[in-house]
């Protein structure tokens, strides 16, 4: 009998290393799938003209992708800033529904350090365009500090495990994530 697939939710503030760790996980777990709502949303035509609608639709597509992939017996990683307890509960319910193991981790750092790390990504030529769009969306939503505070409020009382995101040491952070699997 094979082990149940894992639904790994990597939550945390923008720029904390969620996508980097998801890519690292995929490199070691054949057929695992990273489902990033921002990537899915960017596949929708003229999505910026309807940010709320495109975000909700992308979320539905991501849940459907996760359901399909978990149902096929493969791991799914969701590296996403989620400050919505209802959505986190929905992901936990999805894991139960398909018989998958559910792991909810939150990557953390001091708020000021996390914000500095987020803005430093603007200098990365590979991420510059994505970062520019993300920074614009975050600014329109009240700014980084506001979004970080939303995440903290959402996580209050949740059983998500916090994992320190070690700046400059993605391997160390990855090992910490694996320790919780």
CA 33 centroid distance within chain: 13
Q: Count Cα neighbours of 112 within 13 Å in the Cβ-side half-sphere.
A: 0
At residue 48 the predicted structure's pLDDT band, cuts being 50, 70 and 90, is confident
Residue-level pLDDT at 1? 40
Residue-level pLDDT at 119? 76
- CA-based diameter of the chain, in Å? 49
Residue-level pLDDT at 2? 55
CA 38 centroid distance within chain: 9
Alpha carbons 65 and 36: distance in angstroms, whole number: 10
Decide if pLDDT at 25 tops 60. Answer: yes
Tens of pLDDT, residue by residue over 138-177, are: 888 788 888 889 999 999 989 899 999 988 899 999 999 9
Q: Which of 15, 58, 66 is nearest to 38 (CA)?
A: 58
Alpha carbons 100 and 6: distance in angstroms, whole number: 5
At residue 129 the predicted structure's pLDDT band, cuts being 50, 70 and 90, is low
Helix (H, G, I), strand (E, B) or coil at 6: strand
Alpha carbons 61 and 52: distance in angstroms, whole number: 14
Alpha carbons 97 and 77: distance in angstroms, whole number: 17
Give me the domains of the chain, ranges plus CATH numbers.
Answer: 6-179 (3.40.50.300)
Average pLDDT on 118-142 reads 73
Residue-level pLDDT at 128? 62
Distances (CA, A) of 46 to 42, 43, 49, 51, 177: 9, 9, 6, 9, 36
Alpha carbons 141 and 171: distance in angstroms, whole number: 32
CA 178 centroid distance within chain: 16
- Please give the model's pTM, rounded to 2 decimal places: 0.90
């Amino acid at each position: 009998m094979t082990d149940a697939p894992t639904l790994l939710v990597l939550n945390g503030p923008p720029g904390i290393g969620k996508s980097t760790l998801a890519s690292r996980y995929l490199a070691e777990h054949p057929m695992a799938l990273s489902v990033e709502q921002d990537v899915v949303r960017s596949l929708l035509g003229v999505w910026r003209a309807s940010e709320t609608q495109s975000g909700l639709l992308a979320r539905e597509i991501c849940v459907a992708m996760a359901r399909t992939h978990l149902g096929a017996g493969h791991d799914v990683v969701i590296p996403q800033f989620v400050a919505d307890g209802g959505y986190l509960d929905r992901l936990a319910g999805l894991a139960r529904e398909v018989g998958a193991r559910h792991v909810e981790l939150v990557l953390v750092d001091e708020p000021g350090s996390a914000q500095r790390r987020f803005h430093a990504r603007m200098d990365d030529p590979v991420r510059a365009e994505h970062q520019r769009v993300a920074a614009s969306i975050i600014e329109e939503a009240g700014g980084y500090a506001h979004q970080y505070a939303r995440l903290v409020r959402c996580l209050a009382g949740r059983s998500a495990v916090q994992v320190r995101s070690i700046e400059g040491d993605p391997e160390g952070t990855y090992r910490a994530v694996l320790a919780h699997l």
